[in-house]
Amino acid sequence: MKKMILGSLVLMFSASILLAASVTTEDGIEYEEVCEISQGCAVDDNGVCPNCVLKRKWDIEIVRDVVPVKVDRRVDKSLRNGKFEGRYQVTHAENTEGFFSIWEKGVYLDISKLGEKLYLVNVNGIGKINGERVDCSNPSIFSMKLDSDGKQLNRTDLASGSCAISTFVPDTRWDYTQEGLKKTKRWSVTGEVCVVGPCKGIVYATHIYYYKRVR
């Protein structure tokens, strides 16, 4: 019902009437301009509503692989020795339970090199995850060391910012993709660790995060 109301919302200003405008971003995501001010919203000479907010036109909590945007999950091993440090936009996340989320533009990872395979990571910015606002304007900062295969060996938290970051687990690895980076975390939900198989009773969870290089 809420989506139907938003989809047909009429924006009023003085004697003029503005129908909710449809906006498609460069990521291919379609939104509507929605006025949330009870007195109405003004429209400038270019037909833009500066006080409107953008509302996503479809639900993004979806079943595994029914993804509304193209996600390249492939690892590019030819980039293994490439430049790791840089600025990355957080774009997507998914897990083995079938959850998929889209991070709207605004949250970034700034990765700088401290030494051989030693990096400083700064999580910052303001954006949205599944339509919910996330504020990382006070950055979360940590250092991490990787081995030659991209496995994360440790993490030292240096600053707890305004948004929480996921807990470090030993089975975490970073891989290069054509778009940027892919981080995969895997751990035992039951708390048990398989040393010598068979280990049929252990249940694992996997979370994957995608980052687009912006510079």
Digitized pLDDT (tens) for each residue of the chain, 215 residues in all = 433 333 333 333 332 333 445 554 433 444 567 787 878 888 888 777 888 876 654 333 333 333 445 666 788 777 777 889 999 999 988 887 777 788 887 899 999 999 999 999 999 999 888 788 889 999 999 999 999 999 999 999 999 999 888 889 999 999 999 899 999 998 887 777 777 666 777 777 888 999 999 98
What is the residue whose two structure tokens read 């778009």?
Answer: 179
3-state class of 212 per DSSP? strand
The domain spans of the chain are: 2-56, 77-213
CB of 172 within 8 A of CB of 152?
yes
pTM of the prediction?
A: 0.64
* Cα 105 from Cα 129, distance rounded (Å): 10
DSSP, collapsed to helix, strand or coil, labels residue 66 as coil
